[in-house]
Amino acid sequence: MDRKTVLTKTAKGLMEVTGRTSLLPRELRNVLSHVDGKATVGDLQRKLDGLSEAKLQQMLVRLIREGFVREFVSAPHSVSPSSQFSTRQDPDFSDLLKHDKAEAERLQAAEAALVGAMVRARAQTGANPPAADTARHEAEARREAEARAEAEERARREAEEQLRREAEERARWEAEERARREAEERARREAEEQARREAEERARREAEEKARREAEERARREAEERARREAEERARREAEESARREAEERAKREAEEKARREAEERARRE
């Protein structure tokens, strides 16, 4: 038995906490009253903070040994993702009820035997009591035994009903807990999927934006290069045109100067 162990009351334990019997000292009965089929040993120690772990373990061992509680289930120490949401076989509560019914019947038979022994002992202590007194004592003993048997039967039925309700409540709680874990896992997966899609969309937009900027930058550089070449070509043509006009002008002046000198030379000779 460790801190993860969950305990549940037997029919004998239910009769003790409901006041049908009074077999335990107050401290043990207080511990028994906190056993509800859902709290672990660790939970019990937190509720009973005045008890040390060793003392609580000792008291629980005694309650188990004397048939007031039994181990219901040990909670898992860890839950792996692959098994966290697997469907688990629920315990067979009918077996619990059958066992508690048998325990109650055994106690009832033992108590009836004790009453019979007391009647026989009482009859033997009398010095040859009259038959009427013996019959009266036997009738009283039978009535007491019948009343006790009825009370025990009623307590047994109430204990079975309480066990059934506890089993249903435990099954409901486990189903809700399983549904909660499954919903959390589903929400986690959906959130991861949403984050993945958003990251992919963001990466796609960033890649498109980068490609757009690179295309614009490339177009800008190409336009600048084209403008530079056109400007250089225009400057070259203008320079060539200017040189051509200057050469023509120079040739014209030289021809005119030559013609003038030749005319002067002819005039001088004449």
> What mean pLDDT comes out for the span 194-202?
95
Condensed to tens digits (0 to 9), the pLDDT of residues 137-154 reads: 777 777 877 777 777 778
Task: For 77-110, give one letter per residue: b (16+ CB within 10 A) or e.
Answer: eeeeeeeebeeeeeeebeebbeebbebbeebbee
- Mean pLDDT of all residues in the chain? 80
What pLDDT score was predicted for residue 17?
A: 84
What pLDDT score was predicted for residue 90?
A: 41
In a domain, 54, yes or no: yes
Flag whether pLDDT at 135 surpasses 50. Answer: yes
pLDDT band at 84 (very low <50, low <70, confident <90, very high): very low
In a domain, 159, yes or no: no
Flag whether pLDDT at 212 surpasses 90. Answer: yes
In a domain, 47, yes or no: yes
> What mean pLDDT comes out for the span 218-224?
94
% of residues, the chain, pLDDT over 90: 40
pLDDT band at 37 (very low <50, low <70, confident <90, very high): confident
pLDDT band at 132 (very low <50, low <70, confident <90, very high): low
pLDDT band at 114 (very low <50, low <70, confident <90, very high): low
Flag whether pLDDT at 129 surpasses 80. Answer: no
Please provide the DSSP assignment of the chain as one string: --TTEEEEE-HHHHHHHTTS---S-HHHHHHHHT--SS-BHHHHHHHTTTS-HHHHHHHHHHHHHTTSEEEEEEPPS---TTTTT---PPP-HHHHHHHHHHHHHHHHHHHHHHHHHHHHHHHHHSSS--HHHHHHHHHHHHHHHHHHHHHHHHHHHHHHHHHHHHHHHHHHHHHHHHHHHHHHHHHHHHHHHHHHHHHHHHHHHHHHHHHHHHHHHHHHHHHHHHHHHHHHHHHHHHHHHHHHHHHHHHHHHHHHHHHHHHHHHHHHH-
Number of domains present in the structure of the chain: 1
pLDDT band at 80 (very low <50, low <70, confident <90, very high): very low
In a domain, 45, yes or no: yes
pLDDT band at 107 (very low <50, low <70, confident <90, very high): low
Condensed to tens digits (0 to 9), the pLDDT of residues 223-262 reads: 999 999 999 999 999 999 999 999 999 999 999 999 999 9
Flag whether pLDDT at 13 surpasses 90. Answer: no
In a domain, 166, yes or no: no
Q: Which of 71-85, 115-129, 220-234 has the lowest mean pLDDT?
A: 71-85
In a domain, 112, yes or no: no
Name the residue range of residue 65's domain.
1-75
pLDDT band at 221 (very low <50, low <70, confident <90, very high): very high
In a domain, 191, yes or no: no
In a domain, 149, yes or no: no
CATH code, domain with 2: 3.90.930
pTM value > 0.75 = no
